[in-house]
Structure 1
Amino acid sequence: MTAILETTVLKGAHVIDPANGIDRITDIMIHDGRIAAVGDALDAENASIIDLKGKYVTPGWIDMHVHAYGTLGFADPDTVGVYHGVTSFVEAGGPGIGTLDEFFALMTDLETDLYVGPFIRPLGLLGLNFIEGDVRTLGDVPITRWVDTAKQHKDRIRYIKCNAMGDYGPGTLNVTKGLAQILGVPLYMHIGEFQLQTPDPVLAYEAFRIAEKGDMITHIYHGNLGQIIDENGKIMPVVKDALERGVIFDLGFGGYNFSWDVAEKAFAQGIVPHTISSDLQQFNVVRPAKSLANVLSIMMHLGMPLKQIIEAVTINSAKAISLTDRAGDLSVGKPADVTVFEIEEGQFELSDCFTQTRTANKRFVPKMTFKNGKRFDVDMDLGQNEANWFLQIAEDHIPEAGAALSDRQRAFLGSLGGALSNVDWELSSAERLDIPKALELQALFHRVREENDLPLREALRAVYDSFVDSKFTMQIGLFLMRIERPLALSRMAEMAGKRPHMAA
């Protein structure tokens, strides 16, 4: 990261700002973290000049579907944010109403603007080793708590998410739609059945019927059950009807949700995503999704024009999630959120989620990001570092961060360990996701925290920093289930009883 001077001029780049009709070589002036001017031959006394000849400059990219928190999240979400050319992103369903307080307590110190689209299940998304199905796993829908939370955090909640998959039936989609209407936010629905391949009805099509203007459907090019094309490769009528009503189609690449075959057939028939998102999550950051830039390269190879691609990750996304007051364009006075990239020529293999590949001759290569005027040099490798996406419990040592715990945090760990000694759980509870056990551990954690009068963030960090070397954040009940019970009790006792012996 490199701090810039008070005034910076980005010189000679090809600026594409669809919202303002700019598509030419020109300059951009940034002053005090905001866009000061866009025009030719800009200069200012004592300004820092950055020569960007041969590069493209656009409004900061918005990724409206990532997993920064929870069972699918990263240790350092900024690695797939400002260090990937993205200035704003949305956590797509990691927390639900039962864990939003944990999310807001933890996700406060990122450089990238992080918003949230909570999931209808109170715990939020549960991970890839959970099979969506039994409607009882969705738990309760506490309307009063939802309304109060949405009012308190209205600046960060952008939509409500549900999955059109499993044997839940369309009622769950209607319940989520009703909640979205109560809260005054869009409905955001996952389609594509990649777990149970024989549900009836196919909920993807129910999602298209339920969605109204401004609601969003993601994974439109998936290759699983409930595709947007029929067996003859033709667009399903229900998809066309939704498009005509003003439903927003989001790409949502992910790890299971993009098929070259479906994309090519649908694109040829005019079904083009209004917004492009990556659905980055842990393992798919290695392949096939890799980054939002990689997903944009795939869309470019599919035939989407450059200007339309930029529109999809800037002003279209800003409009879809109501961020036009702060993001999506380079208007004077707006926060200086800027993405700088190159279009590299060569031979590049681009894979879908089903091992099918295409060879492209161009790709997006982000170079730098400006967030509120602060410069970040892009490093695509940071996101793919194993420590960033693979959570491992430190079984044979106390993590370095444990040395910095306060006396109050240590006392809390002692109390928590004592309370946990009265509860039984096994690692298999995490592997098969025993939801009642996760809720029991979560409730116990919060009860002990309140008894110790410890701020939520400090209590959560006390547990994480005692067991993991990297700063992963996960629903606390699910996290505790991932720790072997004897290790959890002995480690908490050690943390509470004395300053730990740090591993070499």
Structure 2
Amino acid sequence: MPEDTSVRQYDIILRGGNVFESTTGTFRTSDIAIKGCHIARIAQDIAGTATHVVDCRDKIVSPGLVDMHTHVYDGVFEKSVPVVEAHLRRGVVAVADAGSFGCSNFEGFRRYIVEDSPCRVVGFVNISSVGLSNMEVSEFASPAAVMQDKTIAVGKDYPDIVKGVKVRLSRSQAAETPLEYLRAAIEVGESIGKPVMVHFGETACSIEEVLDELRPGDILTHSFHGKSAGLLDGGRLNEAALAARERGVLFDVGHGTTQLAYRVARIALEQGFYPDTIGSDLSLRNWREPAYDLLTVMSKMIALGMPLSDVLVASTLRPAELLGISVDGYGVLAEGGMASITVLEQLTEPDILPDASDDRLPVKRLEPVLVVNRGELVDQVPWRGTNVRHLAPVDDGTCC
């Protein structure tokens, strides 16, 4: 006999939402019932009662958002954001810190950020042992800062946290020898079996030279920056970028303070070159403008012409897979799976939002209506762009 669910008691029921199936890129109208930290049922008109019943009609019900590129080593890197305030309370249930920590200060990152956070935190270990601490001193101020053996040891000892290696190649960090640092990062990545994330922009070599070094699964972040030697060759995509994608190199947005140009992104999207992941590169330098948060960066990509379903995949399933956390239930909605869910609505009135060069674009923002994190409801905070005086970003070649 079929199970009688008429009197089933759940903790949360989300009613009638437009549920996004990240594995197929499609939507269906469904209820979602949650019991404890797991999704009990996904179906239309689920019978039963719940402590919390939420009307999600006309709302997008998505797997909890995953930010591929941010900076959350709060209290050590001076520009890091608090992960709960900046991410979890703005719809993001899992984040990857992109190089704020190195092998020398990894232990603090593990103890005080990863283990203390209610949301999932992983990261890319900086090829510099000191990671990031401030914006004035390069992590490569001393060549001795690159400690490959110790970085490999950290990566092998903590594979559940260290999901790759980060290297910044701007002149302000890597000076005139960026390929030396890139190759050191790749050697570490090969030793620990993880990808390298490469910060490229205002770099003392061509993008072709950098892309030629990258392996399948390695990631070029800040893909749509408007600086010299970028993704475009005139009005067309650089052939080296197309060839790199063909062999499996990945491309991340990494908006940050100075790293997204609408002009570049629009041309790339028009030519079918969508980012694999939509990292925010959030920091204290940009969380009030121009990046704001992951949802705002996602909204900008939609306004530039990237389809909603592709934007959601690039902010849920794809980063979860690349970070190796999809096996823990991130990036998908499935019966029996983890209940980490972001409910969204798209505003009808646009905000006029800047990119990194103060170009302006009308953007109908996505806003979090409700977040369930491992079965727990999370209070949200208002968008940080409200009533904030505009300050044009300074393009100083640094990150974040």
TM category, shorter: 0.7 to 0.9
Instruction: Output the CA distance in 2 between the equivalents of 1:355 and 1:18.
Output: 33
State, as a whole percentage, how many aligned pairs show the same letter: 27
Q: Which residue of the other structure, out of 354, 363, 374, is the alignment partner of 1:372?
A: 374
Partner of 1:209: helix, strand, or coil? Answer: helix
Q: CA contact under 8 A between 1:367 and 1:377: conserved in structure 2?
A: no
Partner of 1:160: helix, strand, or coil? Answer: strand
- Alignment of structure 1 residues 63-102 onto 2, 5 Å: 63-69=67-73, 70-74=76-80, 76-102=82-108
Q: Who wins on radius of gyration, i.e. which is larger?
A: 1
- Alignment of structure 1 residues 135-146 onto 2, 5 Å: 136-137=142-143, 139-143=145-149, 145-146=150-151
Please say if 1:43 is aligned against 2:47.
yes
Shift of 1:375: 0.5
**Aligned Cα RMSD in Å?**
2.2
Please say if 1:159 is aligned against 2:161.
no
Instruction: Output the CA distance in 1 between the equivalents of 2:197 and 2:359.
Output: 28
- Kindly provide the amino acid, as one letter, of the partner of residue 228 in structure 1: L
- Kindly provide the amino acid, as one letter, of the partner of residue 178 in structure 2: G
| Alpha-carbon distance change, 280 to 46 in structure 1, aligned in 2, over 3 angstroms | closer
| Alpha-carbon distance change, 188 to 179 in structure 1, aligned in 2, over 3 angstroms | same
Q: Which residue of the other structure, out of 104, 110, 113, is the alignment partner of 2:110?
A: 104
Q: CA contact under 8 A between 1:80 and 1:383: conserved in structure 2?
A: no
Q: Which residue of the other structure, out of 197, 209, 215, is the alignment partner of 1:212?
A: 215
Partner of 1:19: helix, strand, or coil? Answer: coil
CA deviation vs aligned residue, 1:196-242 (integer Å, no higher than 9, x gap)? xxx6423x332211111111111110011321112x22211111110
Shift of 1:171: 1.9
Please say if 1:18 is aligned against 2:27.
no
The equivalent residue for 2:365 is 363
Q: CA contact under 8 A between 1:7 and 1:44: conserved in structure 2?
A: no
| Alpha-carbon distance change, 300 to 48 in structure 1, aligned in 2, over 3 angstroms | same
Shift of 1:106: 1.2
The equivalent residue for 1:8 is 12
Q: CA contact under 8 A between 1:132 and 1:165: conserved in structure 2?
A: no
Q: CA contact under 8 A between 1:66 and 1:278: conserved in structure 2?
A: yes
Instruction: Output the CA distance in 2 between the equivalents of 1:321 and 1:71.
Output: 22
Please say if 1:331 is aligned against 2:329.
no
- Kindly provide the amino acid, as one letter, of the partner of residue 347 in structure 2: E
Q: CA contact under 8 A between 1:191 and 1:226: conserved in structure 2?
A: no
Q: CA contact under 8 A between 1:59 and 1:330: conserved in structure 2?
A: yes
Please say if 1:174 is aligned against 2:179.
no
- Which ranges in structure 2 are unaligned for 5 or more consecutive residues? 1-8, 389-400
Q: CA contact under 8 A between 2:287 and 2:384: conserved in structure 1?
A: no
Shift of 1:73: 4.3
Partner of 2:122: helix, strand, or coil? Answer: strand
| Alpha-carbon distance change, 159 to 46 in structure 1, aligned in 2, over 3 angstroms | same
Count of residue correspondences: 372
Please say if 1:300 is aligned against 2:302.
yes
The equivalent residue for 1:444 is none
Instruction: Output the CA distance in 1 between the equivalents of 2:353 and 2:50.
Output: 44
- Which ranges in structure 1 are unaligned for 5 or more consecutive residues? 194-198, 387-504
The equivalent residue for 1:340 is 343
Shift of 1:165: 2.1
- Kindly provide the amino acid, as one letter, of the partner of residue 90 in structure 1: A
Instruction: Output the CA distance in 1 between the equivalents of 2:256 and 2:380.
Output: 21
CA deviation vs aligned residue, 1:468-487 (integer Å, no higher than 9, x gap)? xxxxxxxxxxxxxxxxxxxx
Q: Return the structure number with greater strand share.
A: 2
Instruction: Output the CA distance in 2 between the equivalents of 1:384 and 1:64.
Output: 25
Shift of 1:331: 1.4
Instruction: Output the CA distance in 1 between the equivalents of 2:91 and 2:72.
Output: 16
Q: CA contact under 8 A between 1:288 and 1:353: conserved in structure 2?
A: yes
User: Which range is displaced more, 169-178 or 54-63?
Assistant: 169-178
Instruction: Output the CA distance in 2 between the equivalents of 1:169 and 1:56.
Output: 43
The equivalent residue for 2:35 is 31
- Kindly provide the amino acid, as one letter, of the partner of residue 152 in structure 1: D
The equivalent residue for 1:277 is 279
| Alpha-carbon distance change, 164 to 25 in structure 1, aligned in 2, over 3 angstroms | same
Partner of 2:23: helix, strand, or coil? Answer: helix
Q: CA contact under 8 A between 2:148 and 2:188: conserved in structure 1?
A: no
Instruction: Output the CA distance in 1 between the equivalents of 2:348 and 2:302.
Output: 12
Please say if 1:124 is aligned against 2:122.
no
Instruction: Output the CA distance in 1 between the equivalents of 2:154 and 2:348.
Output: 48
| Alpha-carbon distance change, 133 to 91 in structure 1, aligned in 2, over 3 angstroms | closer
- Kindly provide the amino acid, as one letter, of the partner of residue 120 in structure 2: D
Partner of 2:212: helix, strand, or coil? Answer: helix
- Kindly provide the amino acid, as one letter, of the partner of residue 156 in structure 2: K
CA deviation vs aligned residue, 1:399-437 (integer Å, no higher than 9, x gap)? xxxxxxxxxxxxxxxxxxxxxxxxxxxxxxxxxxxxxxx
The equivalent residue for 2:292 is 290
